[in-house]
Chain A
Amino acid sequence: MYNPVDAQFQAKAMRAGTAAWALQRLSGLFLTAYLITHLIVIGTVVRGEGSFDSMLSKFESTPFLVLDAGLVGIVAFHGLNGARLILLDFAVGLRYQKALFWASYVIAVGVFAAMVVAARNLL
């Protein structure tokens, strides 16, 4: 059966607009899954201060701090590209939609790097 969603992925060369669409969707689904995980982790507080502090201290290791930096990078991409989508809704910047996608992507990678630098003494 023809599915327009699959067809977007099957195009011979993925164009910037399609890449932006796919990345927005993947990052959105990832962030929703993260949100639920985040609530469960923070929710350990209902079992008291000790449970909360011992749970949160587990995430203060190098691999988790790098993952945290990646998370902030993904949030930055989703937010910046989302702002681009709102502009496109109002037909603002249509001519620059590709450039705006690449700007979102490059800035998000920069945010990730900045987060790693910010936490470097703890890594």
Chain B
Amino acid sequence: MTEATRIEEEAGVTTPWSFIGSGFLPWLLQRVTAIGLVVLLPIHIVINHLANISKVEEGVLPGLVVFSDVMERFESPAYWVVDVLLLSFALFHGLNGVRNVAIDYGLRGVGEKVFTGALSLVGVAAFAFGIIALAAFID
């Protein structure tokens, strides 16, 4: 932190870009993704799992989660929207939650930046892997 920004901060001076690095953005995104997950996860669980229980009982499907059934669902772009949103929201919410725990236990400064960077890499890699897996269900 430069002397100028330290003085500004102590004086409570805010600028339009003050929110960057203030921790406000992760706080807000944690809540936005939380609300998104509360809406999307029940849809995901009901469609992929609960709805299939009766189909297995009636012998329509050989199992609760089978490739052909998932592939059929992905013919509709709405499931793509649900799953891509779920993937990104869940990854951000979970990994940012892990970051919050580390900060609670006193991780600050360089260590915090390195840890945040490492979690971001995990998030981007897992997102890419998730998209590749989803794409495998498309003909």
Spell out A's residues near B (CB within 8 Å): 3, 5, 25, 28-29, 31-32, 35-36, 39, 42-43, 45-46, 49, 52-53, 56-57, 59-60, 68, 72, 75, 79, 82-83, 86, 89, 118-119, 121-122
- Which residues of B are found within 8 Å of A56, using beta-carbon distances? 63-66
Distance A32 CA – B112 CA, assembled complex (angstroms): 19
**Interface SS, A side:** helix
Distance A62 CA – B95 CA, assembled complex (angstroms): 31
Please list 9 pairs of residues, one from A and one from B, whose beta carbons are closer than 8 Å in the complex, sorted by A's number. A3-B106, A32-B94, A45-B137, A46-B136, A53-B67, A79-B34, A83-B34, A86-B34, A89-B31
B118 interface residue per 8 A CB criterion = no
A5 and B50: CB pair below 8 A? no
A45 and B126: CB pair below 8 A? no
B80-115 contacts to A, CB under 8 A, are: 90-91, 94-95, 97-98, 101, 104-106
B130 interface residue per 8 A CB criterion = yes
- Which residues of B are found within 8 Å of A68, using beta-carbon distances? 49
B56 and A32: CB pair below 8 A? no
- Which residues of B are found within 8 Å of A118, using beta-carbon distances? 50, 53
B105 and A5: CB pair below 8 A? yes
